[in-house]
Amino acid sequence: MRTAGFAAIALLLALSSTAFAASDDVFVEDAWSRASIGTNRPGVAYMTIRNAGETPVTLIGLTSSIAMRAEVHRTATNEQGVSSMEPAGDLTIAPGTILTLAPGGLHAMLMNLQAPINKGDRFKLTLKFAEGGEVTVEVVARGIAARGPRD
């Protein structure tokens, strides 16, 4: 009984150290946002997420200090040319690949903004991974009509 308990603890420690290594392999680049229309409309953020590791990582959630709720959405355009968006769910990033959040596709939706996002603002966004660990990035707000991270 006692031996089994120690074995379980040893396994937990091994799992948590592996999990930390997983998020250490994730690099987020070019994180940017757009100035918001006050706080009545959601904010948005885009970035590239690179898995430089040798195992898949799965993005399962977002948090940000400026929004009550943040989640990854997918924009889709139907046959009639009407765009809509829906929660993208968990997103697995294969080893050596990049997940791109960009206008017209996947994006981080920042809902119930706590303050307007103004051009030049910087705020933190945290990405959570199924394998454990988190990556926090600084998002830079560009102008309201920006199309890319350097606009």
Does the footprint of Cu ion cover residue 13 (CB under 5 A)?
no
- Beta bridge partner(s), residue 32: 46, 140
CA 94 – CA 65 distance, rounded (Å): 28
User: How, if at all, do strands 26-34 and 134-142 pair?
Assistant: parallel
- Print the binding letters for residues 76-115 with Cu ion: x by CB under 5 A, - otherwise: ---------x-----------------------x------
**Nearer to Cu ion (CB atom), residue 22 or residue 72:** 72
Q: Which of 33, 85, 90, 22 is nearest to 62 (CA)?
A: 90
**Nearer to Cu ion (CB atom), residue 9 or residue 85:** 85
The token pair that represents 58 in the structure block: 């799965």
Report, in Å, the least distance between residue 107 CB and Cu ion: 6
Report, in Å, the least distance between residue 24 CB and Cu ion: 29
Does the footprint of Cu ion cover residue 73 (CB under 5 A)?
yes
CA 112 – CA 102 distance, rounded (Å): 21
Does the footprint of Cu ion cover residue 34 (CB under 5 A)?
no
* Structural contact between residues 59 and 45, judged by C-beta atoms closer than 8 angstroms: no
Binding site for Cu ion (CB under 5 A): 73, 85, 109
